[in-house]
Chain A
Amino acid sequence: MTRTEPNRSPKSDSENSGNGGGGGTTAMRVIVPLQGVVQGRGGLFLGSVIPCAFFYFLQFYLKRNRKNEPDRNPDSEDSNSGSPDPTRSQSVGNLTELTSLPRSLSRILLSPRISGGAVSVSGRAGFVIKGGDSPYHVGQKRVEEDPYDESGNPDGVIELGSAQNVKFNLEDDWVSENPREVISDGLCMSGIASYEPSHGLMELKMAVAGFMSEATKNSVSFDPSQLVLTSGAASAIEILSFCLADSGNAFLVPTPCSPGYDRDVKWRTGVDLIHVPCRSADNFNISMLVLDRAFYQAKKRGVRIRGIIISNPWNPTGTLLSRENLYALLDFARERNIHIISNEIFAGAVHGEGGGGEFASMAEVVDTEENVDKERVHIIYDLSKDLSFPGLRTAAIYSFNDNVLSASRKLTKLSPVSSPTQHLLVSAISSPKFVQRFVKTNRERLMRIYTELVKGLKELGIECTRSNGGLFCWVDMRGLMSSYSEKGEIELWNKLLKIGKINVIPGSCCHCIEPGWFRVCFSNLSERDVSVVMNRIRKVCESCKSQH
């Protein structure tokens, strides 16, 4: 398919436009005289380039003003390769549009009433429709179609992509220990049915503040009045993005980062993300120099940076940021007068503190600072992740900035937590004993699974970065790739999905600058499942070796 070559000369493009009928003839009518006017070799070139440039601009202008044709193939998720394929999209799109240009022009001219024309959706909606075939979504779909079950479907696809913290039995204990009456009192209809503050009941905020303190080993006491509750971490990040930046501004994000940011931060807000790559040579630690450079370069381009987004424990590597890191980041933010969003949604899942440092919340670091600096720090917390209650959808924004709190409270009207859920959670997490036991048991379990997984991978010759928190393993599969490139990574991802029947997240979804790294979520696994996963990976390793 030679038409997809992005480096076609302008001359060939105008030939293609000639195929489009009326438009092409017009082009030739412009080129020939221009070639006559501008003599010499330059004339041929200019005579082709100028009308082509004119064509592209005209097409761009018309595209903005005419009705969009909806994508007639909504199920683009069926695409098997799941490849982002950056080399294809641009030129193919242009060629298609060139050939369709004359047709839509004539339609506008001939029929003033565009009845029967398809109604268009916004640019934001269009963006989604195209983004449906990323590995993130393709993998998810595969798991939905063929989910692994130890007894029911042992050959199914094992979900190692996203965090669900599924196989956990502590809720059973809680439910059996707490008498029904206690629970049902909290759920009496008239108490929960009416309008309540969308940003959360004070009782629940107090319970959440208590939980956050427990998760951070009581190094900081969280003030419930600085909490705003909303229906999920995605909403919390989006609300902060709306509050801290205008459309066209940007946040700095050290990568690899959570795949969700592309949607949560950018989609509806128009705020951009500037990725600041961290390297395996540095153990994926943030380099202040690189951060500085990214800020400086953005400024030169005229992009206003409003903040930096960090996660601690880091998603996907599982690293804990040291206090020194956090102070350095705070200094950086202070010098540039920007915000810090600290995504601490995995704080309750810190499992490996022994050898890998200690978890310190940004709230602790900022505790002794001036108010003007406190006001630039905003923390996101997610009950769903740490309590393994994803279906209950409750996350929190913790901020020291009154204006941000005030705006966020109003914004939660668009993404509130339902009352029965709030009441249920109050019952669940108000018991300090339960919370302590839960956090401790959760941590121990995660450590056990993590250790098993790392051991198993090591036996296969596969290394991971040291993860001390969160639900992920950041795995180095560079040795298994056929080529050290994004293409090689996607090929390997496909093998893992098709041959190994495990769904993992390739580093490209996390915007990792080095190909070959994969995010593996282990919280879904029981200890027995780990050996199943190892066997599957072994199969893939063998398949890769036989091909080299």
Chain B
Amino acid sequence: MGLPLMIERSSNDNNNNNKVELSRVAVSDTHGEDSPYFAGWKAYDENPYDETHNPSGVIQMGLAENQVSFDLLESYLEKKNPEGSLWGSKGGSRGFRENALFQDYHGLKTFRQAMASFMEKIRGGKASFDPDRIVLTAGATAANELLTFILADPNDALLVPTPYYPGFDRDLRWRTGVRIVPIHCDSSNHFQITPEALEAAYETARDANIRVRGVLITNPSNPLGATVQKKVLEDLLDFCVRKNIHLISDEIYSGSVFHASEFTSVAEIVENIDDVSVKERVHIVYSLSKDLGLPGFRVGTIYSYNDHVVKTARRMSSFTLVSSQTQHMLASMLSDEEFTEKYIRINRERLRRRYETIVEGLKKEGIECLKGNAGLFCWMNMGFLLNTKTKEGELELWDVILKELKLNISPGSSCHCSEFGWFRVCFANMSENTLEIALKRIHEFMDRRRKF
């Protein structure tokens, strides 16, 4: 027969010492976990601040988590719907069975309806959402990656305005093979996206023979903590139509805008457009992690005006489904009009107060922040404290703040900011006392510096 029965030796013959290899994806560092953004978290994990037990520990100001309105959630789940806290609206074993058995990637209709209604509420009814266009994913991280897989091929690019959330480097690029081409924004106009910057980014990609498939913005912006102006959104959509590309709007912080009137969702703009070819390039990402402070629940959604994207995303969401128990648990809460109205209002108010506290506290030390109106963080300018206005200078200062002040904040360079000296400081993942302590440490640090 000619085929040897002996197993053929492979070309590298040290079979006994042959370590089996992994893929490029597995060994690449595109996951970004070695960057300062994540390194600071490690320092925190090793020496976490605790009011009583470890008052000199590291205060975590690098994690955008919302704990200011936890009490509202807890009391709702206990009083209004004790059964709901376990299995959804049907208690006991029947509820358990329904939870355990349901596995459809469409997601529970009641939950999608609840999500749609919640998203409408956040936008003050200025846009409507169709539950059948909602695709559930295990978090916004997965939603962004999924959209990237669907809208772009390997080596294509998405345009993303800087500074941007460091996680995008992983979510948009790691497994997808898609690139990010930055749209450079700077402080001269409060980091807003300009048509010139858009064109410049597009040209950069074109010159490098890279096909641009879409623009991805975060609105409100992370790390800026500011909403995108309506005019800018209209310009963006126009740009996307002209270049025939997609527009992804990550609105994960939409419920954290301090004043509802200051937020314009891309959904509002699309609402008044009839032309399907314009609408079907728009996709919105949302999650309950930030607004509701439920990151552990891993509930994210893709809302798309494009039928094919919805259909594909639904199938692809098989890799990243939300458990039926989670859906049941949250469905009744999210569709409770009274509760969601109250929650959104109070949450916004508390965040606004926190923001004012920290911004004023920093101002007293001569540290300015970008005028923000949303989110769980502020964008602080410490440029004047740098030894050199370079990335190294910025990281030097970051290191000092981590080691001396024991504050973990995020350096602008990890957000790809083109100006050095900016830092993102989170304020919603701690008690008010802890925030005071953090401000005190900054005050002491600035005092020491002034004495020189």
A392→B298 contact, CB < 8 A: no
Q: How far is the CA of A414 from the CA of B146 in the complex (A)?
A: 9
Residues of chain A with a CB closer than 8 A to B175's CB = 242, 268-269, 411, 414
B319→A391 contact, CB < 8 A: no
Asked if B154 CB lies within 8 Å of chain A CBs, one says yes
Nearest Cβ in chain B — how far from A227, in angstroms? 18
Q: How far is the CA of A393 from the CA of B323 in the complex (A)?
A: 6
B297→A419 contact, CB < 8 A: yes
Q: Given A389-B100, A390-B101, A393-B323, are A194 and B296 neighbors across the interface (CB < 8 Å)?
A: yes
B280→A118 contact, CB < 8 A: yes
Pick the interface stretch among A42-50, A121-129, A210-218: A121-129
Q: How far is the CA of A264 from the CA of B319 in the complex (A)?
A: 8
B20→A190 contact, CB < 8 A: no
Q: Report B41-74 CB contacts with A as 1/0, cut-off 8 Å.
A: 0000000000000000000000101010010011
Q: Report B1-33 CB contacts with A as 1/0, cut-off 8 Å.
A: 001010111101001111111111111000101
A235→B319 contact, CB < 8 A: yes
Q: How far is the CA of A421 from the CA of B294 in the complex (A)?
A: 13
B323→A231 contact, CB < 8 A: yes
Q: Given A122-B213, A175-B96, A189-B77, are A244 and B103 neighbors across the interface (CB < 8 Å)?
A: no
List residues 379-407 of chain A with CB under 8 A from any CB of chain B: 384, 388-394, 401, 403-404, 407
Residues of chain B with a CB closer than 8 A to A116's CB = 275, 277
List residues 222-278 of chain A with CB under 8 A from any CB of chain B: 231-232, 234-235, 238, 242-247, 249, 263-264, 267-270
Nearest Cβ in chain A — how far from B150, in angstroms? 4
B100→A122 contact, CB < 8 A: no
Q: Given A193-B294, A193-B295, are A421 and B70 neighbors across the interface (CB < 8 Å)?
A: no
Asked if B370 CB lies within 8 Å of chain A CBs, one says no
We find that the number of chain B residues with CB closer than 8 angstroms to chain A is 93
Nearest Cβ in chain A — how far from B94, in angstroms? 9
A171→B93 contact, CB < 8 A: yes
Residues of chain A with a CB closer than 8 A to B10's CB = 335-337
Asked if A282 CB lies within 8 Å of chain B CBs, one says no
Select which of B16, B141, B275, B329 is within 8 A of A420 by beta carbon. B329
Asked if A436 CB lies within 8 Å of chain B CBs, one says no
Residues of chain A with a CB closer than 8 A to B8's CB = 292, 296, 335
Residues of chain A with a CB closer than 8 A to B326's CB = 418, 420-421
List residues 304-346 of chain B with CB under 8 A from any CB of chain A: 306-309, 311-312, 315-316, 318-326, 329
Select which of A125, A268, A414, A417 is within 8 A of B151 by beta carbon. A125
Report the nearest B residue to A129, measured CB to CB.
B308
Q: Given A122-B149, A231-B138, A418-B322, are A391 and B213 neighbors across the interface (CB < 8 Å)?
A: no
Report the nearest A residue to B325, measured CB to CB.
A421
Q: Report A48-85 CB contacts with B as 1/0, cut-off 8 Å.
A: 00000000000000000001001100100000000000
Report the nearest B residue to A238, measured CB to CB.
B319
Q: How far is the CA of A196 from the CA of B63 in the complex (A)?
A: 13
Residues of chain B with a CB closer than 8 A to A202's CB = none
Asked if B442 CB lies within 8 Å of chain A CBs, one says no
Q: Given A242-B175, A421-B323, are A125 and B312 neighbors across the interface (CB < 8 Å)?
A: yes
A171→B100 contact, CB < 8 A: yes
Q: Given A117-B277, A172-B93, A419-B297, are A164 and B101 neighbors across the interface (CB < 8 Å)?
A: yes
B101→A375 contact, CB < 8 A: no
Nearest Cβ in chain A — how far from B218, in angstroms? 18
Select which of A128, A194, A293, A376 is within 8 A of B65 by beta carbon. A194
Residues of chain B with a CB closer than 8 A to A115's CB = 241-242, 244, 277
Asked if A434 CB lies within 8 Å of chain B CBs, one says no
B23→A245 contact, CB < 8 A: yes
List residues 247-293 of chain B with CB under 8 A from any CB of chain A: 275, 277, 280-281, 293
State the total of A-B contacts with C-beta under 8 angstroms: 269
Q: How far is the CA of A161 from the CA of B355 in the complex (A)?
A: 55
B18→A372 contact, CB < 8 A: yes
Asked if A289 CB lies within 8 Å of chain B CBs, one says yes
List residues 340-394 of chain A with CB under 8 A from any CB of chain B: 370, 372, 375-376, 384, 388-394
Nearest Cβ in chain B — how far from A246, in angstroms? 5
Residues of chain B with a CB closer than 8 A to A263's CB = 315, 318
List residues 165-202 of chain B with CB under 8 A from any CB of chain A: 170-171, 175-177
A234→B244 contact, CB < 8 A: no
B19→A418 contact, CB < 8 A: no
Select which of B3, B25, B77 is within 8 A of A407 by beta carbon. B25
Report the nearest B residue to A338, measured CB to CB.
B20
B321→A125 contact, CB < 8 A: no
Report the nearest A residue to B144, measured CB to CB.
A414
Q: Given A384-B103, A391-B324, are A119 and B277 neighbors across the interface (CB < 8 Å)?
A: yes
Asked if B412 CB lies within 8 Å of chain A CBs, one says no
Asked if B245 CB lies within 8 Å of chain A CBs, one says yes
Q: How far is the CA of A234 from the CA of B308 in the complex (A)?
A: 22
Residues of chain A with a CB closer than 8 A to B242's CB = 113, 115
Report the nearest B residue to A113, measured CB to CB.
B242
Asked if A142 CB lies within 8 Å of chain B CBs, one says no
Report the nearest B residue to A122, measured CB to CB.
B153
Asked if B375 CB lies within 8 Å of chain A CBs, one says no
Q: Given A263-B318, A393-B321, A407-B22, are A413 and B296 neighbors across the interface (CB < 8 Å)?
A: no
Asked if B102 CB lies within 8 Å of chain A CBs, one says yes
Asked if B210 CB lies within 8 Å of chain A CBs, one says no
Q: How far is the CA of A234 from the CA of B311 in the complex (A)?
A: 18
Q: How far is the CA of A390 from the CA of B149 in the complex (A)?
A: 26
Select which of B23, B92, B93, B295 is within 8 A of A194 by beta carbon. B295
Q: Given A196-B296, A415-B138, are A243 and B22 neighbors across the interface (CB < 8 Å)?
A: yes
Select which of A195, A247, A296, A421 is within 8 A of B295 by beta carbon. A195
Residues of chain B with a CB closer than 8 A to A235's CB = 319-320
B150→A187 contact, CB < 8 A: no
Q: Report B152-167 CB contacts with A as 1/0, cut-off 8 Å.
A: 1110100000000000
B15→A418 contact, CB < 8 A: no
Residues of chain A with a CB closer than 8 A to B170's CB = 410, 413
Asked if A38 CB lies within 8 Å of chain B CBs, one says no
Q: How far is the CA of A128 from the CA of B319 in the complex (A)?
A: 14
Select which of A70, A249, A410 is within 8 A of B308 by beta carbon. A70
Q: How far is the CA of A419 from the CA of B175 in the complex (A)?
A: 25
Asked if A148 CB lies within 8 Å of chain B CBs, one says no
A176→B138 contact, CB < 8 A: no
Q: Given A176-B93, A414-B175, are A164 and B149 neighbors across the interface (CB < 8 Å)?
A: no
Residues of chain A with a CB closer than 8 A to B7's CB = 292, 331-332, 335-336
Residues of chain A with a CB closer than 8 A to B293's CB = 193
Q: How far is the CA of A196 from the CA of B295 in the complex (A)?
A: 9
Q: How far is the CA of A187 from the CA of B85 in the complex (A)?
A: 8
Question: Which one of A232, A391, A393, A416 has the greatest number of beta carbons of chain B within 10 Å?
Answer: A391
Asked if A192 CB lies within 8 Å of chain B CBs, one says yes
A231→B86 contact, CB < 8 A: no
Residues of chain A with a CB closer than 8 A to B171's CB = 414
Q: How far is the CA of A9 from the CA of B369 in the complex (A)?
A: 73
Asked if A464 CB lies within 8 Å of chain B CBs, one says no
A415→B100 contact, CB < 8 A: no
Report the nearest B residue to A123, measured CB to CB.
B153
A195→B153 contact, CB < 8 A: no
Report the nearest B residue to A131, measured CB to CB.
B315
Q: How far is the CA of A92 from the CA of B440 in the complex (A)?
A: 73
Name 18 extra pairs, CB < 8 A, besides A242-B175, A376-B20.
A117-B244, A122-B152, A122-B153, A125-B312, A128-B315, A171-B96, A183-B86, A184-B85, A194-B67, A242-B26, A243-B25, A306-B23, A336-B7, A392-B324, A393-B321, A401-B22, A411-B31, A419-B297
10 A-B contact pairs sorted by A residue (CB < 8 Å): A115-B244, A118-B280, A121-B150, A171-B93, A190-B70, A194-B65, A194-B296, A232-B321, A249-B23, A403-B22
**B interface residues with partner A (beta carbon < 8 Å):** 3, 5, 7-10, 12, 15-27, 31, 33, 63, 65, 67, 70, 73-74, 77, 85-86, 92-93, 96-103, 138-139, 141-142, 145, 149-154, 156, 170-171, 175-177, 213, 241-242, 244-246, 275, 277, 280-281, 293-299, 306-309, 311-312, 315-316, 318-326, 329
